[in-house]
Amino acid sequence: MIETIIEKSGVLKPIAEKIYEGQRLSIDEGLELFNINNLSLLASLAVWRKKQISGNKVFFNRNFHIEPTNICMFACKFCSYRRKRGQNSAWDFDIPEMLDLCRKYEGKNLSEVHIVGGVHPDRNLDFYTELLRGIKTILPQIHIKAFTAVELDYMINKAGLSIEKGLEKLKESGLDSIPGGGAEIFDEKIRQQICGDKAPAQIWLKIHEIAHKIGLPSNATMLFGHIETYRHRIEHLELLRRLQDETGGFNAFIPLKYSNANNRMSSIGEIGITEVMKNFAVSRLYLDNIAHIKSYWPMLGKGTAQLSMNYGVDDMDGTIDDSTKIYSMAGSEETSPAMTVSEIRDLISAAGFVAAERDSLYNEIV
């Protein structure tokens, strides 16, 4: 099959041959992939590459989210989620309220709780360590994936600790891994335009680097489809690839499509599905050392996420149980995101792949 793909790849034949031989693509070759209009070729190469890593499987897990607050001291222009204190539709859960959410899942077959929210100016490291300990008391076997690098930067600095000491304190309290949010786009000129008051790219990378080195794996993301160029995307992927070479700590990469509803960048049109699929395919081909590419279905919608499996994606995230508002507030068609295990399995099977339940570290659950 791959030989046929290579023969039909035309001007991309040298790149297709490198992919087949397991050679690393350069930034210029990544740009060439982005600039080509032959989407079917990109899809074929990405699916071939995906199958070398995970066979015909597409993964999912059983999870729910806790979003402690949408009150945030930062004002990212692309954000539809953030509210000021006292503003309509703002929320601010205290620890007992969040632990009550966890009690709903006692005795249920779940593997992960995902915790992210706004950077609340009054919350500190002790607040979150108490939350982690409380969750582990109620759900001792659950994997806690929590706090973006932006949240971590604020709470650890506020505590007057080094990144390593702060992460170690969180790990001792029950933190098992960290999500990939807050990366946005690493180029500092673009970052200044869309989220200039947020922690810079080098802080995001440093927090993930140290997390990996103390035994906290993580995911990585990229916000795309706004004012960035293809070069900005490839350079973002390149920085992730370099860090992964050093630490090996990234479990998955999650491209996040910019949604233009209800934010200060709403005048920017949203990219179409062709561009979304191209981004998945190029990400799969360029990130040769990150095993999994995730299509986050609450953001994209179930149909688009299903289509992405044919562009190199091998993970769908999880059941969610209508526990996140981040993308519904940004205009996602999934206004109450929840899927049963049976629905996820059917979605994956209908795309021609084999559904594989996993834990947070991609160990398959039989």
CATH code: domain of residue 314: 3.20.20.70
Give me the pLDDT at residue 227, please. Answer: 97
Give me the pLDDT at residue 323, please. Answer: 56
pLDDT tens for residues 81-139? 778 777 788 889 999 999 999 999 999 999 999 999 999 999 999 999 999 999 999 99
Q: Does residue 200 form part of some domain?
A: yes
Regions in the chain scoring below 70 on pLDDT: 1, 8, 322-335
Q: Does residue 134 form part of some domain?
A: yes
Q: Does residue 7 form part of some domain?
A: no
Helix (H, G, I), strand (E, B) or coil at 322: coil
Q: Does residue 287 form part of some domain?
A: yes
Give me the pLDDT at residue 279, please. Answer: 98
Phi, psi of 245 (to 5 degrees): -55, -40
What's the domain count of the chain? 1
Residue 77 is part of which domain span?
A: 25-357
User: In b/e form, how buried is each residue of 130-154, taking b as 16+ CB within 10 angstroms?
Assistant: ebbebbbeebeebbbbbbbbbbbbb
Q: What is the pTM of this model?
A: 0.94
User: In b/e form, how buried is each residue of 234-260, taking b as 16+ CB within 10 angstroms?
Assistant: bbbbbbbbebbeebebbbbbbbbbbbb
Q: Kindly give the residue spans of alpha helices, DSSP state H, lying in 36-109.
A: 39-54, 95-103
Q: Does residue 2 form part of some domain?
A: no
Q: Does residue 116 form part of some domain?
A: yes
Q: Does residue 3 form part of some domain?
A: no
Q: Where are the beta strands (DSSP E) in the chain?
A: 57-61, 63-66, 112-115, 143-146, 218-224, 250-257, 292-293, 315-318, 354-357
Q: Does residue 145 form part of some domain?
A: yes
CA distance 60 to 341: 9
